[in-house]
Amino acid sequence: MLIYLAIALRVVTKHDNSGEYREETGLKLLSKHSISVGDSIKITTKDAEIAGLLMPRYESASEEYIVIKLKSGYNTGIHVGKIKSITKMLDKDQAVASVRTPAVTAKQNLPKVAFISTGGTIASKIDYRTGGVHAALSADELYASVPELANHASIDPEVLMSEYSENVRPEHWTLMAEKVAEKVTTGRYRGIILSHGTDTMHYTAGALSFALRKLPVPVVLVGAQRSSDRPSSDAALNLLGATIFATESKYAGIFVAMHAGTSDDIIACHVGTRVRKNHTSRRDAFESIDMTPVALVRNNEIKMQQKHPNRLEQRSSDNHFEVNTKFEDRVILLKYYPGFDPMLIEHAINVGYRAIVLEGTGLGHVGRTCFPALKKAVDGGLMVCMTSQCIWGRVRMTVYDTGRDLLDIGVIPLSDMISETATVKAMWALANSKDVEAAKKIMQENLANEISPILSIS
């Protein structure tokens, strides 16, 4: 995301022979031509003419470059030593007017959708005066960013917070859950959309799945892998797909809507406890694990995919859903690896963690060197659960003696529950149970499709 910064370039002076600017400093070069961030400019070098909007530098970027946003939407940097001439074409106000999206009016009598913004780039728009990206705060801005929304829903937006998703903590889940519950309780909305950064969106989807059970309407988390100022952005289609699902799906609960492939044609809608981010940057980074997506949205139409719809809540008019928004943050997720030091388990005990979620190998194993520390943890009242670091498949701790010994110690197997989902469920179970034994029972119950049923083979 672009950052609001003043440009601090080295000033340069024109060399007498070459006609190019030689590096001394740069702010004078811009000041001399009365150029500021957001202006439309044209720069001539010995190789090319480059036109675009003057952008601010990143904090750590070299002071020897001017950054321009090209018409394509991408940014380019030009070394001040290569500049032969620089001309202001339009000032920032004129430049903003030249790229402003025309107003879009929503159709009448459309279903109402509450849009709750928590951060990320999904509903952001670029501010060409500063180069920064900010949340689209109004329905008009959302419709302008994604005009197709005006054909499907009447959007009621609200900014709850503006956080990078890596900064989201359990207390933020509580705020989100309470805000969603507030919107649902009004009975005004056909669905709820929650914008979220992608890095921890699957954690939040899992957390909300436990905090808000038996919802009467769908609550759809949506994000963007690529910033809205890039031509390859997935923001618009993801938001459109989420809106169509929120208004037309027959299912209720917590879902995640993101690209199903690398092309701009299909949005997949995943169950909130069965989805995981599996790629750092691809637009189809999110996948359903051990479960098919609930639906695919293509050409503005929903195609249901779930083969066992009885596992999902049906949309209803009943607002008496269950709201339990507390989370216990003293839960640690530990990934086992060859050479894993059991002192990490000891540390978790000593500093007061209440639960350990192990991401074990294969069917749910850790090395025997960990057994004494795990026994100490269980005997000390910690809840210790086992998931697998394999993406697909189930924990089966009765197959080998290592697993059976772990069961004897008191480690709880969590079948095919995703490690991230298991972590947030442990936080929720501890915060909403009378004691650890009650929390242990909750961890083994299937509350929100976090555990897939074992299907018989006919």
Label residues 178-192 b or e (16+ Cβ within 10 Å = b): ebbbebbeeeebbbb
* Catalytic positions: 121, 198-199, 277
Determine contact, residues 173/204, Cβ cutoff 8 Å.
Answer: yes
Query: Which of 24, 82, 25, 18 lies closest to 50, judged by CA?
Result: 82
Q: Note whether 227 and 196 are within 8 A (CB).
A: no
**Residues contacting residue 334 through CB under 8 Å, at least 6 positions apart:** 340, 344, 345, 348, 356, 357, 358, 359
Contact criterion met (CB below 8 Å) for 258 and 286:
yes
Rounded CA-CA distance 392/394 in Å is: 7
Q: What token pair was written down for 288?
A: 């359903």
